[in-house]
Amino acid sequence: MKYVVTGCAGFVGSTLVDRLVADGHHVVGLDDFSTGREAFVRQACEAPGFELVRGDLRDPGLALDAALGADAIFHLAANADVRHGTEHPTRDLEQNTIVTVNVLEAARRNGVRDFLFSSTGSVYGEAPVVPTPEDAPMPVQTSLYGASKVAAEGFIQAYAEGFGIRALIFRFVSLLGERYTHGHVIDFVRQLREHPDRLHVLGNGRQRKSYLYVGDCIEAMLTALRAAPGKVGVYNLGAGEYCQVIDSVGWICETLRVTPTLTFSGGDRGWIGDNPFIFLDCARMRGLGWEPTMTIREAVVRTVGWLQEHDA
Amino acid sequence: MKYVVTGCAGFVGSTLVDRLVADGHHVVGLDDFSTGREAFVRQACEAPGFELVRGDLRDPGLALDAALGADAIFHLAANADVRHGTEHPTRDLEQNTIVTVNVLEAARRNGVRDFLFSSTGSVYGEAPVVPTPEDAPMPVQTSLYGASKVAAEGFIQAYAEGFGIRALIFRFVSLLGERYTHGHVIDFVRQLREHPDRLHVLGNGRQRKSYLYVGDCIEAMLTALRAAPGKVGVYNLGAGEYCQVIDSVGWICETLRVTPTLTFSGGDRGWIGDNPFIFLDCARMRGLGWEPTMTIREAVVRTVGWLQEHDA
């Protein structure tokens, strides 16, 4: 098979590329290296089945050329910074919504059969139902990031209906594991490296969040590609549990062998648009035969280990 | 008050402008006259309180200048052609989603308090619950138009959360009344003017749709502006009933005094992405004290009368 992976030098993209190349596929990877890392594609670049294209997907020609003859596109490129959205109000629209339509156009014009998309549990806003199923009540968006992703989802669904492309949309919780590059675990590890005796936590530390190990996420996408019925499939992806921020602080400190004094910014949210409780109902994905293999605690410990080895 | 109305020369926009001007407000109207009509703003242009700005809202500077000192923006400008979306796949993104973010930026940078938006019942796709409430299960989009509007809604909600603008989002059914310019009633009236003895209907004629008289729609928006609580309000707007396409054919023929032979393209949809059953639950809007004043039949008859007088 020929697969296109956008955001191929990112955390998830590069992990997926390594897996697809190992499985013997021809993979074209696209990245602008704005947040992607050279080191993450080094291994893939040595494989004959991998082709790296450097460029900005805001240029519609980039994906168009790359998708020639492709069987499926994994569209993972995105601005993944939820927290600072309000500092650059149009970035999410440009990098997440408009770029998705550029990649959809590439799929349509090249007759690509499958379009796989990394969406987010943030599309549920502050969900009134937890664990949140895919058919939760229509949400009110609370972040530009969530808005840009739910916007992209809608265009993908309309392309599926209008042009016969099969759409697989994955609503991720936050991911953990090797090549993890941003989020609260790295923030905490960096703080503790600088000052092992103190740690500042945004919010009151009781925000409840779910996570998923990156390897489990890749396995879910490949399972859905193989087994999902219908022309549009929307799948939540998360661990079967949640933890409090304060739990993960404990696991991180244990792994780093530090006992800092904690301070809290207070309030039930870490920032404007932060969601105090994210926990997704993943029964639909489990129904395709997938199961996460790692607990959140195991994933946090593994992530901290990787950050220590790779000088976060 | 100073109000900005985008799409001010359209069906709804021009009706709203006349009302706001009559109520003594200062109104800046924007239109690119791609589908808006000179005749619809002729009356407003004679009033001292009205200022017309010609231009394309894809230019971010246009709304930015117009919104200086505005109390509220009614963002009604849109590509409203649901049916032919797949013939120009990026038009809905550009004219409905990106333009909305341009207007939101104008609101944010000018400190505008209220942002009112003409969304659509199409955002529900093929709703599993009918009559469909605002918190229906998260839909799958079936048209580029619906996708572009749900995308715009998300950005509006995120701006409300992030920047403190109050957002009022109105999900319209199809509107009828004076200045009606496109939709099935005009298609039928035109066909019957050319050949009073025959009428071709898309689909099997049993598609069930709800409608609303434009005056009732304007009244609803002004009621919500006055009475809606909270920072984000989403309101369905439609009549308290639905009809079949074949019912409206009867009312149109009766008004035109013709008895054509009917032919049907067949199937339960008129076109790709057509929704065979649209009927919105408007209890939330009624809860603010609003009631539609006209039945669908009355609105259809009134529309046909206007089309006859104005040489559709």
Q: Verify that A204 and A250 share a domain, yes or no.
A: yes
Alpha carbon distance B158, B75 (integer Å): 16
What is the mean pLDDT of the segment spanning B88-103? 95
Whether B41 contacts B16, CB under 8 Å: no
Contact between A93 and B105 using a beta-carbon 8 Å cutoff: no
Beta-carbon separation of A137 and B141 below 8 A: no
Quick one: pLDDT at residue A271?
75
For residue B312, is pLDDT > 70? no
* Residue A299 backbone dihedrals phi, psi, to 5 degrees: -70, -40
**Residue B40, pLDDT above cutoff 80:** yes
In angstroms, the CA B152 to CA A207 distance is: 29
To test the contact with chain A by mutation, choose from B157, B171, B235 the residue with the greatest count of A C-beta atoms within 10 A, namely B157
Q: What average pLDDT does this structure show over B82-100?
A: 89
pTM of the model: 0.95
Chain B environment of A154 (Cβ under 8 Å): 141, 146-148, 150-151
Same domain membership, residue B224 and residue B79: yes
> What are B156's two structure tokens?
């509006």
**Tens-place pLDDT, residues A23-77:** 999 999 999 999 999 999 999 999 999 999 999 999 999 999 999 999 999 999 9
pLDDT of A275 reads 84
pLDDT range class, residue A82, cuts 50, 70, 90: confident
| B6 and B37 co-located in one domain | yes
pLDDT of residue B311: 74
- Neighbour count for residue A61 (Cβ, 10 Å): 11
Q: Given this model, what pLDDT does residue B17 score?
A: 98
Q: How far is CA B101 from the centre of its chain?
A: 18
Question: HSE-up of B21 (CA within 13 Å, CB side)?
Answer: 23
Residues B189 and B277 in one domain: yes
Say which of B135, B146, B273 has its CB closest to residue A138.
B135
Residue of A143, A155, A274, A275 to mutate for B, most B C-beta atoms under 10 A: A155
Q: Are the beta carbons of A150 and B155 separated by less than 8 Å?
A: no
Backbone angles phi, psi at A195, to 5 degrees: -135, 90
Catalytic one of B3, B124, B145, B159: B145
Is there a single domain that holds both residue A189 and residue A45? no
Q: For the segment A131-165, what is each residue's pLDDT rounded down to a tens digit? A: 999 999 999 999 999 999 999 999 999 999 999 99
Q: Are residues A113 and A258 in the same domain?
A: no
Is the confidence at residue B247, as pLDDT, over 90? yes
Token output for B139: 């839909």
Judgement on whether residues B103 and B199 belong to the same structural domain of the protein: no
* Secondary structure element (H or E) that encloses residue B279, with its range: none
Please write the tens of the pLDDT for every residue from B188-228: 999 999 999 999 999 999 999 999 999 999 999 999 999 99
Residues from chain B contacting residue A136 (CB–CB below 8 Å)? 137-138
Yes or no, beta carbons of A162 and B154 under 8 Å apart: no
Min distance B161 CA to chain A CA atoms (Å): 6
Instruction: Please provide residue B262's backbone torsions phi and psi, each rounded to the nearest 5 degrees.
Output: -95, 140
Q: Which of A136-150, A206-220, B230-244, B262-276 has the lowest mean pLDDT?
A: B262-276
Domain of A284, CATH number, reads 3.90.25.10
Q: Smallest Cβ distance to B134: which of A104, A138, A154?
A: A138
Looking at the structure, tell me whether residues A59 and A195 fall in a common domain.
no
- Domain of residue B229, residue span: 2-175+210-237
Same domain, A180 and A170: no
**CB nearest A97 (choices: B139, B144, B151):** B151
Pick from A104, A125, A144: CB nearest B162: A144
A156 and A300 housed in the same domain: no
Count: domains in chain A: 2
Helix (H) or strand (E) holding B134: none
